[in-house]
Amino acid sequence: MSTQEYVFLAFAFFGGFGMFIFGMHIMAEGLQKSAGDKMRNLLALLTNNRLLGVLVGTVVTVIVQSSSATTVMVVGFVNAGLMNLVQAVGVIMGANVGTTVTAWIVSSSEWAVFLKPDKIAPMVVGIGATMLFFLREKRQKQVGEILIGFGLIFIGLEYMKDAITPFKDAQAFKDAFLMLGHHPFFGILAGFLVTAIVQSSSASVGILQTLAAQGLVPWSAAVYIILGQNIGTCVTALLSSIGASKMAKRAAVIHLLFNIFGTLLFTVGTIVYFKTVGSAQGAVIIGMTGISIFHTVFNISNTVLLYPFADKLVYLSEKIVTGKDVEEEREEIIALRHLDNRILESPTFAVENAIKEVVHMGELAVENVRTAVEALVTKDEGLVEKVFQREKDINALDKMITDYLIKISNTPLSEKQQIVITNLFHTVTDLERVGDHAENIAELAAYYKEKDLTFTPEAMEEFGQISRKAIETIELAIQARRDNNPKLVPKVEDSEEEVDALEELLRQRHIERLAANLCNTVTGVVFLDSISNFERISDHALNVAYFVKDEAI
């Protein structure tokens, strides 16, 4: 062949590979959007039950179509404090099982009896594109994305196979794979390097299956390459753990240890097998389905074998990554790591994590209101300073959460998730304003102390009454946000109306006391400004609750 023909074949192979991995990406996005709340419910299963962790890891990997993405998310969850190492072990094991699904999708072109995927792929892309661009229902558009991704996978594979076809009789290729089959170290190294470079074991297995479809790969070479691919897939998680907490680094190390131990066990076993009873089998050419079978057997067997030793993996990771995470001494820790970019690999989980942080911000704001109230009642300057310091934390969270929400909004979201993100933007603003009102009350408390003012017994009782009701209102709203419970919204409405009525009543009563010279004007200003702040706090609480109600429609 001429140089030009070689160049065109290289273009075809890399173009096909590009369509293949892009198809995987598009299909994964469609699956995630379609899964929506179902993926969200998986977080609730992340208990210390490792078996449930394996299930979650398997399902998530099937949806995101990448064990690397799942393990990167695991590192993010551990770094964010949403998952401990015991839970992480199960999810990592499940991720290895879930990644086998992609190989079976690819090999279906060999064993599918009717409507072979590689033959109908162009039509599938056409149907998907029609649904995506001409149908209005979001669910139908999501199905269209899945179909486009599915079709592109097989179109890409066909381009790759066609580019390799002229070389299927080349002795150099055959000799190279025979060498990899006879030297396990080089076979494992080849699988490791390719996977580390493309950052996806599913993609590297797809490349191997493409080569196998042309009759170039013997069983022994395929086995060792697949074993190397399972170590190579750990590189992504290890890289993502750089700069993370020690616990997150341990999660990445657990992934590496799990795959290394499994690879060592199978390497020894397969070497013995190919050197003895299976010597002839090692030279037999493997097909795409054969690769899927071994890939599945390896990952499931590895999980079954090492499952009882999960605690040992945790122990080893702690010995490799020593020391404890340094915690800040402040009572309220504003941890940017809670808004971990790794979790953006799955927008559904990222949305849930953002909700948790918004709730955390709300809890800080409520605590600040309580502290401000106590500061005024007790005239404690230390509490006033505590309010001011916590308000800085709330403002910092406001910026961090807003930045994170912007990042989430740039990921593929379902229609409902887009509504949630928009509402979270507004909720953060309302909670920041609640913090501002707490700061206002603290400033009034400082003035109250400085001027040595004193409320009348009636005013003090009324101050306590409206402050308790305002705090109850914002607590109900935050609970509704935390639990995604629109049934609490009517309670928030009732409570907010009580605060409004109280504010109007107490304002009138205090004006009457001023008129009767029962308290001075300066004290009156502090009282009236305070109850006005409580009324505004309840207004913001109602806004927060209405956003939850809006999402339920």
Asked whether the beta carbons of 467 and 448 are under 8 A apart, the reply is no
DSSP assignment letter at 517:
T
What are phi and psi for residue 277, nearest 5 degrees? -70, -25
CA atoms within 13 A on the CB side of 200: 22
Residues forming a β-bridge with 21: none
Distance CA 426, CA 542 (A): 12
Tell me: the pLDDT tens digits for 425-444? 999 999 999 999 999 999 99
Q: Which of 34-48, 246-260, 370-384, 427-441 has the lowest mean pLDDT?
A: 34-48
Q: Which residue has the higher pLDDT, 508 or 87?
A: 508
pLDDT at site 402: 94
Distance CA 79, CA 81 (A): 5
Distance CA 99, CA 60 (A): 10
The pLDDT confidence band at residue 138, using thresholds 50, 70 and 90, is: confident
Q: Which of 155-159, 176-180, 471-475, 490-494 has the lowest mean pLDDT?
A: 176-180
pLDDT at site 1: 65
Task: Provide the percentage of residues in the chain whose pLDDT is more than 90.
Answer: 47
Question: Could you tell me which residues come within 8 angstroms of residue 497 by beta carbon, excluding any fewer than 6 positions away?
Answer: none
Distance CA 479, CA 481 (A): 5
Asked whether the beta carbons of 218 and 176 are under 8 A apart, the reply is no
Distance CA 350, CA 254 (A): 23
pLDDT at site 113: 65
Distance CA 532, CA 250 (A): 51
Domain boundaries, the chain: 3-319, 346-552
Q: Which of 44-58, 197-211, 215-229, 230-244 has the lowest mean pLDDT?
A: 44-58
Nearest Cα neighbor of 513 from 502, 499, 528 is 528
Tokens 């072990």 correspond to: 89
Tell me: the pLDDT tens digits for 303-313? 999 999 999 99
Asked whether the beta carbons of 368 and 435 are under 8 A apart, the reply is yes
What are phi and psi for residue 83, nearest 5 degrees? -150, 140
Q: Is the pLDDT of residue 148 over 90?
A: yes
Distance CA 191, CA 398 (A): 45
CA atoms within 13 A on the CB side of 57: 32
The helix/strand count (H/E) of the chain reads as 23, 0
Distance CA 330, CA 495 (A): 33
Asked whether the beta carbons of 58 and 94 are under 8 A apart, the reply is yes
Distance CA 158, CA 478 (A): 53
CB atoms within 10 A of CB 552: 10
CB atoms within 10 A of CB 356: 16
pLDDT at site 358: 93
Distance CA 329, CA 326 (A): 9
CA distances from 228 to 201, 235, 317, 541 (A): 10, 12, 21, 55
Q: Which of 5-14, 64-73, 256-265 has the lowest mean pLDDT?
A: 64-73
Q: Is the pLDDT of residue 330 over 60?
A: no
Question: CB burial class (10 A; 0-12, 13-18, 19+) of residue 270?
Answer: buried
Q: Which residue has the higher pLDDT, 468 or 182?
A: 468
Asked whether the beta carbons of 207 and 17 are under 8 A apart, the reply is yes
Question: Could you tell me which residues come within 8 angstroms of residue 210 by beta carbon, excluding any fewer than 6 positions away?
Answer: 157, 160, 161, 164
The pLDDT confidence band at residue 424, using thresholds 50, 70 and 90, is: very high
Query: What's the average model confidence in pLDDT over 57-71?
Result: 84
What are phi and psi for residue 48, nearest 5 degrees? -80, 5
Query: What's the average model confidence in pLDDT over 351-375?
Result: 93
Query: What's the average model confidence in pLDDT over 356-367?
Result: 93
Q: Is the pLDDT of residue 86 over 90?
A: no
pLDDT at site 286: 92
Nearest Cα neighbor of 547 from 365, 448, 423 is 423
Distance CA 73, CA 92 (A): 10
CATH homologous superfamily, domain 346-552:
Phosphate transport system protein phou homolog 2; domain 2 (1.20.58.220)
Nearest Cα neighbor of 162 from 25, 3, 17, 2 is 17
Token pair listed for 145: 């994305």
Tell me: the pLDDT tens digits for 374-400? 999 999 999 999 999 999 989 989 999
Helix (H, G, I), strand (E, B) or coil at 218: strand
Q: What is the largest CA-CA distance in the chain?
A: 108
Residue 313 region by backbone torsions, left for phi larger than 0, else alpha for psi between -120 and 50, else beta? alpha
pTM across the whole model: 0.74
What are phi and psi for residue 218, nearest 5 degrees? -80, 160
